[in-house]
Amino acid sequence: MNFGIIGYGKLGRLRHQVLEKMGAHSVLQVCDPTPVQGDFRYVADPEPLWANPEVETVFVCTPNRFTKEYVIRSLDAGKHVFAEKPPGVSSQEVLEMMDAEKRNPGLKLMFGFNHRYHPSVVEARKRIATGEFGRILWMRGRYGKSVDKTFFDSWRASKEQAGGGILLDQGIHMLDLLMLFADGFDEVKSFCSNLYWNLEVEDNVFALLKNNTNRIVASLHSTMTQWRHLFSLEIFLERGYMVINGLITSSMAYTTNWGKEVLSIAMNRTPPPQARHAQEERFVYDEDGSWFAEMEDFFEVVQTDTPVRNGSTQDSLKLMEMIEHIYQDGGF
Protein backbone atom coordinates (compact mmCIF):
# COMPACT_ATOMS: atom_id res chain seq x y z
CA MET A 1 0.00 0.00 0.00
CA ASN A 2 0.92 3.62 -0.46
CA PHE A 3 0.57 5.85 2.58
CA GLY A 4 0.28 9.44 3.64
CA ILE A 5 1.06 10.57 7.19
CA ILE A 6 -0.60 13.58 8.79
CA GLY A 7 1.43 14.66 11.82
CA TYR A 8 5.13 13.81 11.81
CA GLY A 9 5.94 13.98 15.50
CA LYS A 10 7.11 11.04 17.60
CA LEU A 11 4.29 8.69 16.61
CA GLY A 12 4.21 9.72 12.96
CA ARG A 13 7.93 8.97 12.69
CA LEU A 14 7.54 5.71 14.60
CA ARG A 15 4.78 4.51 12.28
CA HIS A 16 6.96 5.43 9.30
CA GLN A 17 9.87 3.42 10.72
CA VAL A 18 7.64 0.38 11.22
CA LEU A 19 6.38 0.60 7.64
CA GLU A 20 9.93 0.82 6.30
CA LYS A 21 11.05 -2.22 8.29
CA MET A 22 8.03 -4.23 7.14
CA GLY A 23 8.78 -3.49 3.49
CA ALA A 24 6.40 -3.54 0.49
CA HIS A 25 4.87 -0.24 1.62
CA SER A 26 5.66 3.31 0.59
CA VAL A 27 5.08 6.63 2.35
CA LEU A 28 4.38 9.04 -0.50
CA GLN A 29 3.45 12.19 1.39
CA VAL A 30 3.95 13.62 4.87
CA CYS A 31 1.98 16.58 6.22
CA ASP A 32 3.19 18.57 9.21
CA PRO A 33 3.27 22.27 10.20
CA THR A 34 7.06 22.00 10.49
CA PRO A 35 8.93 21.17 7.23
CA VAL A 36 10.54 17.73 7.27
CA GLN A 37 12.80 15.97 4.81
CA GLY A 38 12.83 12.38 3.66
CA ASP A 39 12.12 10.03 0.81
CA PHE A 40 8.62 11.46 0.44
CA ARG A 41 6.87 14.64 -0.62
CA TYR A 42 6.40 17.12 2.21
CA VAL A 43 3.19 19.17 2.33
CA ALA A 44 2.20 21.76 4.93
CA ASP A 45 -1.51 21.23 4.29
CA PRO A 46 -3.30 17.85 4.04
CA GLU A 47 -5.40 18.84 1.00
CA PRO A 48 -2.81 17.64 -1.57
CA LEU A 49 -2.51 14.37 0.35
CA TRP A 50 -6.25 13.79 0.25
CA ALA A 51 -6.34 14.70 -3.45
CA ASN A 52 -3.54 12.30 -4.38
CA PRO A 53 -5.11 9.16 -5.91
CA GLU A 54 -1.92 7.17 -5.26
CA VAL A 55 -2.29 7.54 -1.48
CA GLU A 56 -4.46 4.62 -0.43
CA THR A 57 -4.18 4.89 3.36
CA VAL A 58 -3.72 7.81 5.74
CA PHE A 59 -2.12 7.74 9.17
CA VAL A 60 -3.53 10.42 11.48
CA CYS A 61 -0.91 11.18 14.15
CA THR A 62 -1.96 14.65 15.24
CA PRO A 63 -2.92 16.32 18.53
CA ASN A 64 -6.25 14.99 19.72
CA ARG A 65 -8.39 17.97 18.70
CA PHE A 66 -7.60 17.36 15.01
CA THR A 67 -8.33 13.64 14.99
CA LYS A 68 -12.03 13.75 14.15
CA GLU A 69 -11.68 16.27 11.32
CA TYR A 70 -8.75 14.52 9.66
CA VAL A 71 -10.25 11.05 10.02
CA ILE A 72 -13.51 12.14 8.43
CA ARG A 73 -11.81 14.10 5.64
CA SER A 74 -9.56 11.14 4.86
CA LEU A 75 -12.45 8.67 4.70
CA ASP A 76 -14.49 10.99 2.50
CA ALA A 77 -11.45 11.34 0.23
CA GLY A 78 -11.55 7.57 -0.33
CA LYS A 79 -8.67 6.57 1.97
CA HIS A 80 -8.37 3.84 4.56
CA VAL A 81 -7.45 5.38 7.93
CA PHE A 82 -5.29 4.37 10.85
CA ALA A 83 -5.51 6.94 13.66
CA GLU A 84 -3.67 7.18 16.94
CA LYS A 85 -5.52 7.04 20.24
CA PRO A 86 -7.54 8.59 21.74
CA PRO A 87 -10.38 8.37 19.22
CA GLY A 88 -11.09 12.09 19.31
CA VAL A 89 -11.89 13.98 22.48
CA SER A 90 -15.47 12.78 23.12
CA SER A 91 -17.97 10.03 22.38
CA GLN A 92 -19.83 12.49 20.16
CA GLU A 93 -16.75 12.78 17.96
CA VAL A 94 -16.60 8.99 17.70
CA LEU A 95 -20.23 8.96 16.55
CA GLU A 96 -19.41 11.48 13.85
CA MET A 97 -16.49 9.36 12.67
CA MET A 98 -18.76 6.31 12.68
CA ASP A 99 -21.14 8.19 10.36
CA ALA A 100 -18.26 8.80 7.95
CA GLU A 101 -17.31 5.14 8.23
CA LYS A 102 -20.86 4.08 7.35
CA ARG A 103 -21.06 6.28 4.26
CA ASN A 104 -17.74 4.83 3.05
CA PRO A 105 -18.42 1.09 3.50
CA GLY A 106 -15.45 -0.05 1.44
CA LEU A 107 -12.95 1.70 3.70
CA LYS A 108 -11.42 0.69 7.03
CA LEU A 109 -10.95 2.86 10.12
CA MET A 110 -8.80 1.55 12.97
CA PHE A 111 -7.47 3.28 16.08
CA GLY A 112 -4.08 2.47 17.55
CA PHE A 113 -4.24 0.51 20.79
CA ASN A 114 -0.96 -1.34 20.49
CA HIS A 115 -1.00 -2.48 24.14
CA ARG A 116 -3.44 -5.20 23.08
CA TYR A 117 -0.62 -6.64 20.94
CA HIS A 118 2.07 -6.80 23.63
CA PRO A 119 3.19 -10.44 24.01
CA SER A 120 2.35 -10.51 27.72
CA VAL A 121 -1.22 -9.39 27.05
CA VAL A 122 -1.63 -11.82 24.14
CA GLU A 123 -0.39 -14.72 26.27
CA ALA A 124 -2.62 -13.80 29.23
CA ARG A 125 -5.69 -13.63 26.98
CA LYS A 126 -4.83 -17.00 25.45
CA ARG A 127 -4.42 -18.68 28.83
CA ILE A 128 -7.61 -17.19 30.26
CA ALA A 129 -9.55 -18.36 27.18
CA THR A 130 -8.67 -21.99 27.95
CA GLY A 131 -10.92 -21.84 31.03
CA GLU A 132 -8.41 -23.71 33.21
CA PHE A 133 -8.14 -20.76 35.60
CA GLY A 134 -11.89 -20.25 35.94
CA ARG A 135 -13.53 -16.86 35.64
CA ILE A 136 -11.94 -13.52 36.41
CA LEU A 137 -12.81 -12.26 39.89
CA TRP A 138 -11.10 -8.87 39.99
CA MET A 139 -8.36 -6.79 38.38
CA ARG A 140 -6.05 -3.96 39.32
CA GLY A 141 -4.33 -1.71 36.80
CA ARG A 142 -1.68 0.92 37.53
CA TYR A 143 -0.08 3.02 34.81
CA GLY A 144 1.94 6.04 35.78
CA LYS A 145 4.80 8.30 34.86
CA SER A 146 6.60 11.46 35.84
CA VAL A 147 6.66 14.61 33.74
CA ASP A 148 8.96 17.60 33.92
CA LYS A 149 8.39 21.31 33.38
CA THR A 150 8.68 20.97 29.60
CA PHE A 151 5.28 19.29 29.75
CA PHE A 152 3.75 22.72 30.37
CA ASP A 153 4.73 23.78 26.84
CA SER A 154 3.34 20.68 25.11
CA TRP A 155 -0.09 20.35 23.54
CA ARG A 156 -0.90 17.56 26.01
CA ALA A 157 -1.03 20.15 28.82
CA SER A 158 -3.84 22.03 27.04
CA LYS A 159 -7.43 20.89 27.52
CA GLU A 160 -8.37 22.49 24.21
CA GLN A 161 -5.68 20.55 22.35
CA ALA A 162 -5.78 17.26 24.26
CA GLY A 163 -9.35 17.04 25.58
CA GLY A 164 -8.15 15.61 28.88
CA GLY A 165 -5.10 14.79 30.94
CA ILE A 166 -3.29 11.65 31.99
CA LEU A 167 -6.35 9.39 31.65
CA LEU A 168 -6.97 10.32 28.03
CA ASP A 169 -3.27 10.38 27.22
CA GLN A 170 -1.93 7.24 28.88
CA GLY A 171 -4.54 5.70 31.18
CA ILE A 172 -6.76 5.02 28.18
CA HIS A 173 -4.48 2.09 27.32
CA MET A 174 -4.97 0.48 30.73
CA LEU A 175 -8.70 1.19 30.67
CA ASP A 176 -8.92 -0.44 27.24
CA LEU A 177 -7.20 -3.58 28.56
CA LEU A 178 -9.43 -3.76 31.63
CA MET A 179 -12.52 -3.42 29.44
CA LEU A 180 -11.15 -6.05 27.06
CA PHE A 181 -10.66 -8.62 29.84
CA ALA A 182 -13.91 -7.77 31.66
CA ASP A 183 -16.08 -7.34 28.55
CA GLY A 184 -16.89 -3.78 29.58
CA PHE A 185 -18.18 -2.12 32.74
CA ASP A 186 -21.56 -0.82 33.89
CA GLU A 187 -20.74 1.19 37.02
CA VAL A 188 -18.06 3.77 37.80
CA LYS A 189 -16.83 5.41 41.00
CA SER A 190 -13.92 7.77 40.53
CA PHE A 191 -11.81 10.64 41.82
CA CYS A 192 -9.99 12.94 39.40
CA SER A 193 -7.63 15.60 40.67
CA ASN A 194 -4.73 17.97 40.23
CA LEU A 195 -2.54 16.91 43.10
CA TYR A 196 0.63 18.64 42.03
CA TRP A 197 0.93 20.24 38.57
CA ASN A 198 -2.13 22.54 38.81
CA LEU A 199 -2.85 22.30 35.09
CA GLU A 200 -6.23 22.58 33.39
CA VAL A 201 -6.06 18.81 32.80
CA GLU A 202 -6.03 16.14 35.51
CA ASP A 203 -2.79 14.59 36.75
CA ASN A 204 -4.40 11.72 38.71
CA VAL A 205 -7.41 9.45 38.24
CA PHE A 206 -8.53 6.77 40.70
CA ALA A 207 -11.44 4.68 39.43
CA LEU A 208 -13.44 1.62 40.52
CA LEU A 209 -15.25 -0.16 37.69
CA LYS A 210 -17.86 -2.92 37.89
CA ASN A 211 -19.42 -5.26 35.35
CA ASN A 212 -22.83 -6.16 36.74
CA THR A 213 -23.26 -9.26 34.58
CA ASN A 214 -20.05 -11.14 35.37
CA ARG A 215 -19.50 -9.21 38.66
CA ILE A 216 -15.89 -8.34 37.82
CA VAL A 217 -14.58 -5.33 39.73
CA ALA A 218 -11.46 -3.51 38.57
CA SER A 219 -9.47 -0.64 39.99
CA LEU A 220 -7.55 1.82 37.83
CA HIS A 221 -4.93 4.38 38.82
CA SER A 222 -3.64 6.66 36.08
CA THR A 223 -1.09 9.24 37.22
CA MET A 224 1.55 11.71 36.16
CA THR A 225 2.83 12.27 39.71
CA GLN A 226 4.52 8.91 40.03
CA TRP A 227 8.20 9.69 40.19
CA ARG A 228 9.10 6.42 38.54
CA HIS A 229 7.45 5.01 35.44
CA LEU A 230 5.25 1.99 36.16
CA PHE A 231 3.02 -0.47 34.32
CA SER A 232 1.28 -3.16 36.36
CA LEU A 233 -1.79 -5.21 35.44
CA GLU A 234 -3.02 -7.84 37.92
CA ILE A 235 -5.75 -10.34 37.02
CA PHE A 236 -7.01 -12.66 39.74
CA LEU A 237 -9.15 -15.64 38.79
CA GLU A 238 -10.94 -18.47 40.58
CA ARG A 239 -7.96 -20.82 40.24
CA GLY A 240 -4.93 -18.59 40.03
CA TYR A 241 -3.59 -15.25 38.91
CA MET A 242 -1.81 -13.49 36.07
CA VAL A 243 0.34 -10.43 36.70
CA ILE A 244 2.08 -8.28 34.08
CA ASN A 245 4.89 -6.14 35.46
CA GLY A 246 6.75 -3.79 33.16
CA LEU A 247 6.14 -3.00 29.54
CA ILE A 248 8.65 -2.85 26.70
CA THR A 249 8.16 0.51 24.96
CA SER A 250 10.21 2.70 22.64
CA SER A 251 11.47 4.68 25.64
CA MET A 252 12.19 1.53 27.72
CA ALA A 253 11.02 3.58 30.73
CA TYR A 254 8.28 1.15 31.82
CA THR A 255 10.31 -2.04 32.04
CA THR A 256 11.10 -3.87 35.25
CA ASN A 257 14.33 -3.07 37.07
CA TRP A 258 16.21 -5.43 34.77
CA GLY A 259 14.74 -4.03 31.54
CA LYS A 260 12.12 -6.69 30.87
CA GLU A 261 8.38 -7.19 30.43
CA VAL A 262 7.28 -10.04 32.69
CA LEU A 263 4.09 -12.09 32.82
CA SER A 264 3.75 -14.26 35.94
CA ILE A 265 1.11 -17.00 35.95
CA ALA A 266 0.23 -19.20 38.92
CA MET A 267 -2.38 -21.90 39.41
CA ASN A 268 -3.76 -22.51 42.90
CA ARG A 269 -1.86 -25.48 44.32
CA THR A 270 -4.20 -26.11 47.27
CA PRO A 271 -7.93 -25.47 47.66
CA PRO A 272 -9.03 -21.96 48.65
CA PRO A 273 -9.29 -20.08 50.92
CA GLN A 274 -5.70 -20.93 51.94
CA ALA A 275 -4.38 -21.44 48.44
CA ARG A 276 -0.63 -21.57 47.95
CA HIS A 277 1.16 -20.93 44.70
CA ALA A 278 4.10 -23.29 44.91
CA GLN A 279 4.74 -23.00 41.21
CA GLU A 280 4.79 -19.76 39.26
CA GLU A 281 5.30 -19.74 35.51
CA ARG A 282 7.13 -16.68 34.20
CA PHE A 283 7.27 -15.34 30.67
CA VAL A 284 10.03 -12.78 30.17
CA TYR A 285 10.08 -10.50 27.12
CA ASP A 286 12.81 -8.10 26.03
CA GLU A 287 11.41 -6.96 22.68
CA ASP A 288 8.28 -5.03 21.74
CA GLY A 289 6.64 -6.51 18.67
CA SER A 290 3.32 -4.79 19.31
CA TRP A 291 3.76 -2.08 16.67
CA PHE A 292 4.47 -4.63 13.95
CA ALA A 293 1.69 -6.99 15.05
CA GLU A 294 -0.78 -4.09 15.07
CA MET A 295 0.22 -3.04 11.55
CA GLU A 296 -0.02 -6.60 10.26
CA ASP A 297 -3.51 -6.84 11.72
CA PHE A 298 -4.52 -3.57 10.03
CA PHE A 299 -3.09 -4.64 6.66
CA GLU A 300 -4.92 -7.96 6.84
CA VAL A 301 -8.21 -6.21 7.61
CA VAL A 302 -7.74 -3.91 4.60
CA GLN A 303 -6.57 -6.59 2.19
CA THR A 304 -9.23 -9.16 3.12
CA ASP A 305 -12.02 -6.59 3.58
CA THR A 306 -12.92 -8.00 6.99
CA PRO A 307 -14.15 -6.14 10.08
CA VAL A 308 -11.62 -4.37 12.31
CA ARG A 309 -10.81 -6.69 15.22
CA ASN A 310 -9.00 -4.31 17.55
CA GLY A 311 -9.39 -0.56 17.79
CA SER A 312 -12.73 -0.51 16.01
CA THR A 313 -15.10 2.43 16.23
CA GLN A 314 -17.50 0.27 18.24
CA ASP A 315 -14.82 -0.44 20.84
CA SER A 316 -13.74 3.20 20.72
CA LEU A 317 -17.26 4.45 21.41
CA LYS A 318 -17.60 2.26 24.51
CA LEU A 319 -14.17 3.36 25.69
CA MET A 320 -14.84 7.07 25.27
CA GLU A 321 -18.23 6.75 26.98
CA MET A 322 -16.50 5.07 29.93
CA ILE A 323 -13.88 7.84 30.07
CA GLU A 324 -16.65 10.44 30.14
CA HIS A 325 -18.33 8.56 33.02
CA ILE A 326 -15.04 8.53 34.92
CA TYR A 327 -14.54 12.26 34.40
CA GLN A 328 -18.13 13.07 35.32
CA ASP A 329 -18.18 10.96 38.49
CA GLY A 330 -14.72 12.25 39.42
CA GLY A 331 -15.85 15.86 39.16
CA PHE A 332 -13.47 16.84 36.41
Q: To the nearest whole number, what is the mean pLDDT of the chain?
A: 94
Residue 278: pLDDT over 70: no
**CATH number, position 74:** 3.40.50.720
Instruction: Give yes or no for a cis peptide into 273 (omega within 30° of 0).
Output: yes
Residues 6+ apart with CB under 8 A from 121: 115, 177, 233, 244
Domain with 228 in it? 115-292+320-329
- In 3D space, the residue among 206, 266, 195 whose CA is nearest the CA of residue 235 turns out to be 266
Q: Does the residue 299 lie in any domain?
A: no
User: How much is the pLDDT for 270?
Assistant: 65
pLDDT in tens, 219-232: 999 999 999 899 99
Do residue 156 and residue 281 come from a single domain? yes
User: How much is the pLDDT for 271?
Assistant: 66
pLDDT in tens, 46-84: 999 999 999 999 999 999 999 999 999 999 999 999 999
Do residue 70 and residue 147 come from a single domain? no
User: How much is the pLDDT for 256?
Assistant: 85
Q: Does the residue 302 lie in any domain?
A: no
Do residue 145 and residue 187 come from a single domain? yes
Final residue of a structural domain among 109, 126, 159: 109
Q: What does residue 226 show for φ and ψ, rounded to 5 degrees?
A: -100, 115
Do residue 168 and residue 257 come from a single domain? yes
> What is the value of pTM for the model shown?
0.96
Q: Does the residue 311 lie in any domain?
A: no
Whether the Cβ atoms of residue 207 and residue 130 lie closer than 8 Å to each other:
no
Whether the Cβ atoms of residue 162 and residue 155 lie closer than 8 Å to each other:
yes
Domains held by the chain: number: 2
- In 3D space, the residue among 27, 22, 24, 47 whose CA is nearest the CA of residue 38 turns out to be 27
Lowest-pLDDT range of 82-86, 135-139, 266-270, 324-328? 266-270
- Identify the band that residue 272 occupies on the pLDDT scale cut at 50, 70 and 90: low
Q: What is the DSSP string of 306-319?
A: ----SS-HHHHHHH
